[in-house]
Amino acid sequence: MVHIVYLILRSIRTFMPQGPAAKPGISGGHRTMRTAMTDETRPPGIIARSQRFFQERGFSFVLAVLLVGIFIIRQPTADFGRYVDWARSFRHADILALGDDGIWSPLGVPLSQWQFGTGLVYSLPGFFAGTDLLLFPTILSCIGLLLFFLTLRRVTLDPFVAILFFCLAWISTPFGFYTYSQSSESLAAAFLAIYFYLITSDLRRSPGFYLLCGIAGGFIISTRTQLGIWVVAGVPLLLAEFSGRRLEGQATRARALASLVLFAAPIVAAVAASLVVNRWMT
């Protein structure tokens, strides 16, 4: 709106009669300097200044404030303990360690309606060796936060627009809440950010790269099964890239097949594990 008003006033001023130019050395010299000012020499307005701020320092400023704030106010959600039960079960390799609620499934295992993948992630770093059970998932959330912004910046090609969309997602969706309130949604959001950052990046497409994409996709499914549709949404991008690299002779058939297997294996394993656990609990 400010830009529109400025352009209208500037157009009107072009058609207005100009007064006689002041000669150097008289009191109108300052007026001459002001009239001769061009767009290049005019001081930037508030919108231009804000855009420049976000382009130059906004990334560091916003991310630093958010990351520090997340670590200060991090908290568990109401069902956090249920995922800790799954972590204990993985740590001891004992399904009976899920809990002692006295509720059993028809197959004779403790009944749990909470995602096993979240407990698996919690158990990975030796979760019960430390005192702060929220530390590791909070670190993962912060990594996901950073990669989400970098993906937005790559897609929008403009730091100002990227931060604008980032803030809108933080405020108007559950994304912000689940970054500092740890639950299965928190890990799913982090792995979604990692997954889409990888498949839209220009990183070297080695077999290890596709394995990493598959692991991220597998954790998305195991932490929040219904979000697996986003893993499927990313598959056409990878398949199109495979076809392009095969046509350009950058990948042999055996290498392409190995990469596909490495990508699919963690996802198939996550789907199979989800089916088994759902069978146990029904």
Q: Which tens digit of pLDDT belongs to each residue from 115-137?
A: 899 988 988 876 555 557 788 88
What is this structure's pTM?
0.74
In this model, does residue 25 exceed pLDDT 70?
A: no
Per-residue model confidence (pLDDT) at position 190: 93
Per-residue model confidence (pLDDT) at position 248: 53
Average pLDDT in the chain? 76
- Cβ–Cβ < 8 Å for 194, 145: no
Can you list the alpha helix ranges (DSSP code H) found in the chain?
2-15, 29-35, 46-53, 59-73, 80-92, 116-123, 135-156, 159-172, 177-180, 184-199, 207-223, 228-247, 253-280
72-76 CB contacts, 8 Å cutoff, 24+ apart: 73/180, 74/134, 74/138, 74/180, 74/181, 74/182, 75/134, 75/180, 75/181, 75/182, 76/133, 76/134, 76/181, 76/182, 76/183
User: How many CB atoms are located within 10 Å of the residue 266 CB?
Assistant: 20
Q: Which residue, 99, 69, 66, 83, is CA-closest to 183?
A: 83
More confident: 67 or 226: 226
**CA–CA separation, 217 vs 269, rounded Å?**
11
